[in-house]
Structure 1
Amino acid sequence: MVKAQNQSKPVIRQEISGVERLGIRVSSMINHPQAQAQRWVTIHRLDTDGDREWEEIMDLLSETDGIDMTLNDDESVSLQWKRFEDI
């Protein structure tokens, strides 16, 4: 009788960049059902968000048609948008 050998391959973990991590967080906040219902969200910068990453994501958002961006006194950013049908 031949024993089956365990030939599982090692799992390779791929790290995501800071920009990707921040982009995922912001996207999740925008796509949250409550944000979609009210059509606005406020994004707070975390201590783990680097300057370069924050600026890159904020630049992308500012260039996105249909999004109004407000810089708040507490350094958070509020985004507001209209329903797709209203555009």
Structure 2
Amino acid sequence: MTGKSKKAAKPEARQMTGAERLGLRISAMINSPRAQERCSALVHRLETDTDQAWDEVMEALGETDGVSLTFQDDGDVLIEWEKPTDEDLVLEEEEVDSVEEEAPF
């Protein structure tokens, strides 16, 4: 034995893109209890938000059904969404009774 142990190479952590960081920040703002109650969130653009990341995330939000964006004079963006109705609820698989039909052949 040589007394030296080989260290396993650590996999490099993948760096988040600017759009991913911005998306997480906006997601946290949208998911806050206050924003959920009001169905809106005011997003401030940070100096660290690149033009590409900002445009990419704003475009994705703007294409989302039930979401509207209001661009403010100061550069902020007001995100508003429709309050979910009972019809919008997502049911878990175990909550739905499956209907089994015989095959027609």
* TM bracket (short chain): 0.7 to 0.9
Whole-Å separation in 1 of the counterparts to 2:83 and 2:11: 42
The 3-state SS of whatever aligns with 1:68 is strand
Q: What is the percentage of aligned positions where both structures have the same residue?
A: 40
Q: Which TM-score applies when normalising by structure 2?
A: 0.70
Which has the greater radius of gyration? 2
State the partner residue of 1:15: 15
Name 1:27's counterpart in structure 2.
27
Amino acid at match of 1:18: G
Higher relative contact order (CA 8 A, sep 6+): 1
Determine which structure has the larger helix proportion and give its number: 1
Q: Distance in 2 between matches of 1:56 and 1:11?
A: 29
Q: Report the TM-score when normalising by structure 1.
A: 0.83
Give the 5 Å matches for 1:62-77. Answer: 62-77=62-77
Across the two proteins, how many residue pairs are aligned to each other? 83
1:79 and 1:10 mapped to 2: Cα distance?
40
Task: Measure the CA separation in 2 of the matches of 1:18 and 1:79.
Answer: 19
Counterpart secondary structure, 2:41: strand
Off by >6 Å, runs of 4+ in structure 1: none
State the partner residue of 1:41. Answer: 41
Unaligned ranges ≥5, structure 2:
89-105
Cα-Cα RMSD: 1.9
